[in-house]
């Protein structure tokens, strides 16, 4: 879309600048704040426990199980019927990996068009048949932005954005953190021996995996970056995985360290566009890895690791593993 206007600009929070972004971000952030999510913690723990039970049942593809992990709680939070979860999981992945053979429908452009058409159509129907008491979608229906209710197109865009943000990032933080544990068994042993390290391990896993590869930004004024002139209006790409391995910020950035402190990673972005669902993602990941640390003695690969063909998400689509459960 370089050189053209984003059709979601000013309508979808993630594709807007202030003041539209601020008006959308503040009320949605309140709905997804840590305090607002506290009553939902038991559900997330239940989902995490269920994933672990399936994982323990012989060799299983962790990536396939993890793909459905965020849908189980985000879908519930949004008020999406369970029978729709599997299809929506496929569609959100196709939207960010249209060239991957397992998700491609014809060519890449056709895959993008089909995935977005289905997702927008789905949320168009869902928002028309949802009450204001029915989950996050219902809460969006009741929001007032700039003294008015959200328009139908704004509802559809933001429902799409919230679901996409959860579905295409959280699973890859799970699989890549477990892969890091397999490749660094001494670090996993620290977490098993001291469960208080789980939050730090989650943050290091987020830094290490950096599931969202990049974001596009435009310079708001003439500036200079590392000696290079950047004119106002120029497009720039921020590479989050690179930022999270910046040797000027992180000591030994290519070492996976569950005790890393401080850990100012930018896996959730930075500034006004910091991920609005960060609290939900952290809550889910902490619940899952607390369950894992309490139950799993070790992980072993049971087959090759296959990466997702995507220029947006640093993801793993297949990772067969065998778990050895703790005996105490």
152 Cβ contact list (under 8 Å, min separation 6): 124, 127, 128
143-216-260-283 Cα dihedral, nearest 10 degrees: 20
- Range scoring the smallest mean pLDDT among 54-58, 223-227, 257-261: 54-58
The pLDDT of residue 222: 98
Phi, psi of 296 (to 5 degrees): -100, 120
Helix (H, G, I), strand (E, B) or coil at 22: helix
pLDDT per residue as tens digits for the range 53-83: 998 887 999 999 999 999 988 998 898 999 9
| Domains defined for the chain, CATH in brackets | 13-323 (1.10.630.10)
Name the strand (E) or helix (H) holding 218: strand 214-218
Phi, psi of 224 (to 5 degrees): -130, 130
Asked if pLDDT for residue 244 goes beyond 80, the answer is yes
The pLDDT of residue 328: 67
| pLDDT (mean) for 40-64 | 89
Strand partners, 144: 149
Reduced DSSP (H G I as helix, E B as strand, rest coil) percent helix, strand, coil of the chain, to 5: 55, 10, 35
d(C-alpha 99, C-alpha 29), whole Å: 33
pLDDT per residue as tens digits for the range 260-296: 999 999 999 998 899 999 999 999 999 999 999 999 9
Helix (H, G, I), strand (E, B) or coil at 304: coil
| pLDDT (mean) for 6-20 | 88
């Amino acid at each position: 879309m370089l050189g053209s206007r984003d059709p979601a600009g000013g309508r979808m929070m993630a594709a807007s600048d202030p003041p539209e972004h601020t008006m959308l971000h503040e009320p949605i952030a309140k709905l997804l704040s840590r305090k607002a999510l506290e009553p939902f913690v038991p559900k997330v723990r239940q989902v995490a426990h269920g994933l672990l039970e399936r994982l323990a049942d012989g060799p299983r593809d962790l990536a396939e199980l993890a793909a459905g992990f965020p849908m189980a709680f985000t879908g519930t939070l949004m008020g999406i019927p369970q029978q729709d979860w599997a299809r929506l999981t496929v569609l959100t992945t196709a939207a960010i990996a249209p060239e991957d053979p397992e998700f491609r429908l014809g060519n890449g452009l056709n895959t993008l068009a089909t995935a977005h058409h289905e997702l927008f159509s789905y949320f168009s129907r869902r928002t028309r048949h949802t009450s204001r008491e029915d989950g996050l979608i219902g809460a969006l229906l009741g929001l007032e932005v700039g003294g008015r209710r959200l328009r139908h197109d704004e509802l559809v865009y933001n429902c799409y954005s919230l679901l996409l943000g959860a579905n295409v990032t959280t699973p890859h933080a799970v699989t890549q953190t477990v892969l890091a544990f397999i490749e660094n068994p001494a670090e996993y042993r620290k977490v098993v021996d001291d469960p208080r390290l789980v939050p730090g391990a989650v943050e290091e896993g987020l830094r290490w995996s950096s599931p969202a590869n990049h974001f596009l930004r435009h310079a708001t004024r003439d500036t200079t970056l590392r000696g290079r002139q950047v004119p106002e209006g120029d497009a720039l790409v921020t590479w989050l995985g690179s930022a999270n391995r910046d040797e000027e910020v992180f000591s030994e950035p290519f070492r996976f360290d569950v005790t890393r402190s401080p850990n100012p990673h930018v896996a959730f972005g930075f500034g006004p566009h910091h991920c609005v669902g960060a609290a939900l993602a952290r809550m889910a990941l902490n619940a899952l890895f607390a369950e894992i640390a309490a139950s799993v003695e070790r992980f072993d690969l049971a087959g090759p690791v296959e990466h997702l063909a995507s220029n947006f998400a640093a993801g793993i689509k297949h990772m067969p593993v065998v778990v050895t459960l703790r005996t105490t």
